[in-house]
Homo-oligomer: A and B are copies of this chain.
């Protein structure tokens, strides 16, 4: 018996989608403010702005991925309460904040900027974990049936937090290797997926 979603849930999701859509689109703004020197070729522009281009690609992929997770996390939500609204607002604040550390690493990754960037991702992933955990423990918000799905999200989010923590620690010693270590997120998701399947089989 799937219940209708409350109107408050719908509006919160539409608002969140709007905020994420804007944050992901604003990432291109610094690149639109480039004024090429006379006789500059495309190669000059790309070389001069390679850090900004890399930062754009990285943050686009990061926000796109977090949006997909948000969609999966909130998919089973049927009823709204203040706690879930507050957690969502903190999540949105961290996403809206991301263009700031993105602009910093576009300028250079030393001076703690890489750690600041990775730390912001850590905040988003911790909030993912808190939201998944809250929904797993409050089946009255999701009609109960989705509790297993929310528990899977808890495992996946916990692995993400772990991978980002490792990247953060590495970035304190070597900023560029720290950013590369964010690629650990991919094997972390694969392992979390396998663990979830194993738990389902044994359940």
Query: Which residues of A come within 8 Å of B, CB atoms?
Result: 7-8, 11-15, 17-36, 39-45, 56, 60, 64, 67-68, 71, 75, 85, 89, 92-93, 96-97, 99-100, 102-104, 107-108, 111-113, 115-116
A45 touches B104 (CB 8 A): yes
Smallest beta-carbon distance A13→chain B, Å:
7
A100 touches B17 (CB 8 A): no
B17 touches A96 (CB 8 A): no
CB nearest neighbor in B for A80: B71
Q: What are some 6 contacts across the A-B interface (CB < 8 A)?
A: A15-B21, A28-B99, A39-B111, A41-B112, A42-B116, A68-B85
Smallest beta-carbon distance A160→chain B, Å:
17
B39 touches A64 (CB 8 A): no
Complexed CA–CA distance, A21 and B8 (Å) = 16
* Most-contacted residue by chain B among A18, A71, A92 (CB, 10 A): A18
For A32, the chain B residues whose CB sits under 8 A away are: 26, 29-30, 99-100, 102-103
B111 touches A89 (CB 8 A): no
Complexed CA–CA distance, A108 and B39 (Å) = 10
